[in-house]
């Protein structure tokens, strides 16, 4: 009696197994639609994401174009401002002579310099100042020189310079004088090179022509920037 039962059990187990088997064989059959759905979803997502990325890229691109435009505008304004600032110093943005450590200044047959403000960057190892006499009068009557000195000492040294005489280029022996050129007359040019190390940090410097009587008018500020 037990054997048929067990065989019945076996049969039912076999049926169950076959049922499971048939289900399991259907599963792969259902897989292709799942794959195609996945493909469809993937395609859709890819398309959507690609579009979105393209949109974002376009927006970022437009944003960057605007930002670039804004930066160019600012740079342009800065350059314009620098042009204006540099004009009195003469020469910086002009083609060719772009050395900010080399300054030029002029004086003619009148008691006047071409500028009353000179400036150099602190990064200059050496500074060269060139003075050109654009007039025609001889140095005995309308000589000019360029002297770098503390601004507060211009009057005192200017007065002392009158006694120094033309043979000394109208430069008195004074340790406060940082640099000085010789006296030049009409059509002549001269220059002097000095190190910024010679300038004290806490002192305000200026320049002057120490030809007798000129210092009161022919003077200006000399600043080291940066």
Question: What does the binding site for Zn ion look like in residue numbers (CB under 5 A)?
Answer: 144, 209, 211, 214, 218
Using the minimum distance from each CB to Zn ion, give the nearer residue, 169 or 214.
214
Cα torsion 105, 106, 107, 108 to 10°: value is: 180
Residue nearest to Zn ion (CB): 209
**How many Å is the Cα radius of gyration of the chain?**
44
Gap between the Cα atoms of 4 and 26, Å rounded: 32
Q: Minimal distance in Å, beta carbon 111 to Zn ion? A: 6
Is residue 221 within 8 Å of 116, Cβ to Cβ? yes
Q: Minimal distance in Å, beta carbon 212 to Zn ion? A: 9
Using the minimum distance from each CB to Zn ion, give the nearer residue, 199 or 209.
209
Q: Minimal distance in Å, beta carbon 141 to Zn ion? A: 11
Using the minimum distance from each CB to Zn ion, give the nearer residue, 105 or 199.
105
Using the minimum distance from each CB to Zn ion, give the nearer residue, 149 or 209.
209
19-28 contact pairs (CB < 8 A, 24+): none
Alpha carbon 193 to chain centroid, angstroms: 26
Using the minimum distance from each CB to Zn ion, give the nearer residue, 211 or 222.
211
Q: Minimal distance in Å, beta carbon 161 to Zn ion? A: 10
Nearest to 149 by CA among 111, 119, 176: 176
Q: Minimal distance in Å, beta carbon 110 to Zn ion? A: 9
Residue 116 φ then ψ, to 5°: -115, 15
């Amino acid at each position: 009696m037990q054997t048929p039962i067990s065989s019945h059990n076996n049969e039912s187990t076999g049926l169950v197994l076959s049922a499971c088997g048939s289900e399991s064989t259907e599963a792969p059959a259902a897989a292709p639609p799942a794959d195609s759905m996945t493909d469809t979803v993937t395609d859709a997502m890819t398309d959507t994401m690609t579009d979105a990325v393209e949109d974002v890229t376009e927006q970022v691109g437009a944003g960057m174009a605007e930002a670039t435009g804004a930066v160019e505008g600012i740079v342009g304004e800065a350059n314009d401002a620098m042009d204006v600032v540099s004009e009195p110093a003469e020469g910086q943005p002009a083609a060719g002579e772009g050395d900010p450590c080399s300054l030029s200044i002029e004086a003619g047959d009148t008691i006047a310099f071409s500028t009353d403000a000179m400036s150099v960057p602190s990064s200059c190892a050496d500074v060269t100042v060139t003075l050109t006499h654009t007039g025609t009068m001889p140095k005995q009557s309308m000589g000019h020189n360029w002297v770098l000195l503390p601004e507060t000492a211009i009057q005192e040294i200017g007065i002392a310079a009158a006694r120094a005489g033309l043979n000394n280029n109208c430069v008195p022996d004074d340790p406060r004088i940082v640099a000085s050129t010789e006296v030049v007359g009409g059509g002549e040019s001269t220059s002097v090179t000095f190190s910024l190390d010679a300038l004290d940090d806490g002192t305000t410097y200026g320049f002057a022509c120490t030809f007798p009587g000129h210092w009161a008018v022919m003077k200006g500020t000399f600043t080291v920037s940066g």
